[in-house]
Every structure is written in C-alpha cells, then in structure tokens.
C-alpha cells in the first residue's frame, strides 16, 4: 500500500505475481521452473506504455523542446496514444494522434476522453496514403513536437531505470525475461539493465506474427526496423502467430485469472517455450514475463469467445499487439 502526490507519481511499481498453475510441473527432485507475471496493466492508463510516455515527455521538457501549451504529434492508435494523452493532459500539452480511420471505436473514444485530438487517414488508401497524410501534417505544422517512440532513447531508458530494477528487486533469482517486441523499448531497456546485473540472464523477445495484409509492402526495401533496436541485447526472438497468442491469452484468464490483451498471450507463449526447455534440460528457471495491458480494449474483436479458428478470423488483418 502506498500513497502518491499525483497520478504521474503512481506510474510503475507494478506487482510481480507467480503463476503456480501455469508453471510447468518438474519431475521429483528436479530444480523448480517458475513463471512470474509483471502486471503492467496496473499502470495509470492500464498499459506498460505509461512508463515510456512519462519518460519521453520529461526528457523533452528537460531538453527545452516542450514548453507549456505546446502540441505533441504522434502517429499511434494504440496504448502509447492513450498514455501520452494522460501525461499531456496533466503536464499541460495538447496531443494530436494520427491514425487510420478503421481503428476500433473504443480506441477513439478513450483517446478523446483523455483529451486527445485525432486526425484520421483514409483506410482505403492503405499505408501509402497514411504516410502521405502524416507527411502533410508535419509540413503544415513544423512547430509540433513528435516524440517518436521508435527512436526515442527515453523510451528504452524508462525500462532501464524502472522496469529492470523492479524485476531484480522482486525476483533476484531471475533467469529469463520475456517481453513483446514493438518499439523494442521494453526489451532494450530492461534487457540492458538485467544483462549488467545478472550473469547468464536470457532476454527473450516475442514478436506478433499478423495476417498477410499487415505485411503488404510493395517491396522489401519498404521494411522498417525501429532505431532503438539492438539485436545484441536479445538472446532469442520468437515469432508468435495469432492462434497461439489467442490460445495463451484465454489460458491466462482461465487458469490464473489474469485478463490480458493478445500481445500478452504471444509473450506467454514464448515464456512457456523457454520454461519447458528448462524442464527438459533439468535446469532451474525463474521466467518473468510482461503483461502489457488488460483485455478490455480488445473485447469488441470477439476473439475472447468462440473457437480458436473464429478468433483467428476475427483478428485477421488487425494489429492485435
């Protein structure tokens, strides 16, 4: 129990909870293999992105890039937008989010409720039209500040200074850290911290594998790797398909009572893979993984009920992580 001066001060310090029912059973006399969930849905707006949003805004303030009343521009339809909207409101900035017009209504409602303004790019024009829209906005408003989460070192630093130390404090015997790979900020920051402090730590990435529509580039050279990404921080990287992510998301709530979003299912899938390997090899393992957000924002996908095949169809073509 604790009290805080404001909501921003309540960011981080999330619980780490054991998963005794989902952890694999080991043979008699074998060393224990345990799974631990870091509940990042317990942050002020309900996702791990609050940490990055707070650190990025603070860094921009300290560098003199952001002054009261300024406008922040960020292309996001997801958790980062919601986190930035909350931080911007409390710190006195205006937030403009750029997103395709076909995102779910609860995203739009949430962002507007937190006070963000939204500029839609046409869904029909696909990613090329979205890029054009975004470029145009930047041309028209050169004074708007983009924090650019994919390349902003304060994103990774948030996890180096908070997530990593919290994990080591709560689980000094940690052997594996498993998180999702998006901007790569969580894995880069937490991974670097744990590599400095824990001999032999395994840093494991779980990357969502979407439906084919999402990979609809015209050629390979249109691909993109976030500037924050440094492969040497990782030990392994798994690609997790929609079906496995949905299966694990449902298992997490059914077996351990944790209601999470689908990216967490993908992360759990990778965590279980390394846990079962440890059991096979007869090695002790304390596997900590990230619960990135709760499942509330994804209920309208319908993917929490019905068959796995139905859920897979429901998520086809969507960015579910």
Partner 1 sequence: MAIEVRIPTILRSYTGGAKVVEGTGDTLGDLLADLDSRHAGLRGRLVTEAGALHRFVNVYVNDEDVRFLGALDAKLSDGDSVTILPAVAGGAFGFAAAAAIAQHALATRAGGRIPTAR
By CB under 8 A, tell whether 289 contacts partner 1: no
By CB under 8 A, tell whether 281 contacts partner 1: no
Stretch that binds partner 1, among 73-81, 253-261, 279-287, 302-310 (CB under 8 A): 73-81
By CB under 8 A, tell whether 234 contacts partner 1: yes
CB of 21 or CB of 141, closer to partner 1? 141
Stretch that binds partner 1, among 138-146, 285-293, 296-304, 305-313 (CB under 8 A): 138-146
By CB under 8 A, tell whether 144 contacts partner 1: yes
In sequence order, the β-bridge partners of residue 286 are: 34
Q: Kindly state the smallest distance separating residue 47's Cβ from partner 1, in Å.
A: 14
Question: What residues numbered 79-98 form the site for partner 1, per CB under 8 A?
Answer: 98
CB of 8 or CB of 319, closer to partner 1? 319
Q: Kindly write down the DSSP assignment for every residue of 217-285, as one continuous string.
A: -SSGGG----TT--GGG-SEEEEEEHHHHHHHHHHHHHHH---B-HHHHHHHHHHHHHHHHHHHHT--E
Active site residues: 49, 263
By CB under 8 A, tell whether 227 contacts partner 1: yes
Within 8 A by CB and 6+ apart from 130, the residues are 98, 100, 121, 122
**Helix, coil or strand: residue 49:** helix
Helix axis angle for 79-91 and 105-113, nearest 10°, is 10
Distances (CA, A) of 61 to 57, 74, 132, 159, 310: 6, 16, 29, 19, 46
**Chain residues in the site for partner 1 (CB under 8 A):** 59-60, 63, 65, 73, 75-78, 98, 100, 121, 127, 130-131, 133-135, 137-139, 142-146, 148-153, 181-184, 205, 207-210, 212, 214-227, 231, 234-241, 319, 321
């Amino acid at each position: 129990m604790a009290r805080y001066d404001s909501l921003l001060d309540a960011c981080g310090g999330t619980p780490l909870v054991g998963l005794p029912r989902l952890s694999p059973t080991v043979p008699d006399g074998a060393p224990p293999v345990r799974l631990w969930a870091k509940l990042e849905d317990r942050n002020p707006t309900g996702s791990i992105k609050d940490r990055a949003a707070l650190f990025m805004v603070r860094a921009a303030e300290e560098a003199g890039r952001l002054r009261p009343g300024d406008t922040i521009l960020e292309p996001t339809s997801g958790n980062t937008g919601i986190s930035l909207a909350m931080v911007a409101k409390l710190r006195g900035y205006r937030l403009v989010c750029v997103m395709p017009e076909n995102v779910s209504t609860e995203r739009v409602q949430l962002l507007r409720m937190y006070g963000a303004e939204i500029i839609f790019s046409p869904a029909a024009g696909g990613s090329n039209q979205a890029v054009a829209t975004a470029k145009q906005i930047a041309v028209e408003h050169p004074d708007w500040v983009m924090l650019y989460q994919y390349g902003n070192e304060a994103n990774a630093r948030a996890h180096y200074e908070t997530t990593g130390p919290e994990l080591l404090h709560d689980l000094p015997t940690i052997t594996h850290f498993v998180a999702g790979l998006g901007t790569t900020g969580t894995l880069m920051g937490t991974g670097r911290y744990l590599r400095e402090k824990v001999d032999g730590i395994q840093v494991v990435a779980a990357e969502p594998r979407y439906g084919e529509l999402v990979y609809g580039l015209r050629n390979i050279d249109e691909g993109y790797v976030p500037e924050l990404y440094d492969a040497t921080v990782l030990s392994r990287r798994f690609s997790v398909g929609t079906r496995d992510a949905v299966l694990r998301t449902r298992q997490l709530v059914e077996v351990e009572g944790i209601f999470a979003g689908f990216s967490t299912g993908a992360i759990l899938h990778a965590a279980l893979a390394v846990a079962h390997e440890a059991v096979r090899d007869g090695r002790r393992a304390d596997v900590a993984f990230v619960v990135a957000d709760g499942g509330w924002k994804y209920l309208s996908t319908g993917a929490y009920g019905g068959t796995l095949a139905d859920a897979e169809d429901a998520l086809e073509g969507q960015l579910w992580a």
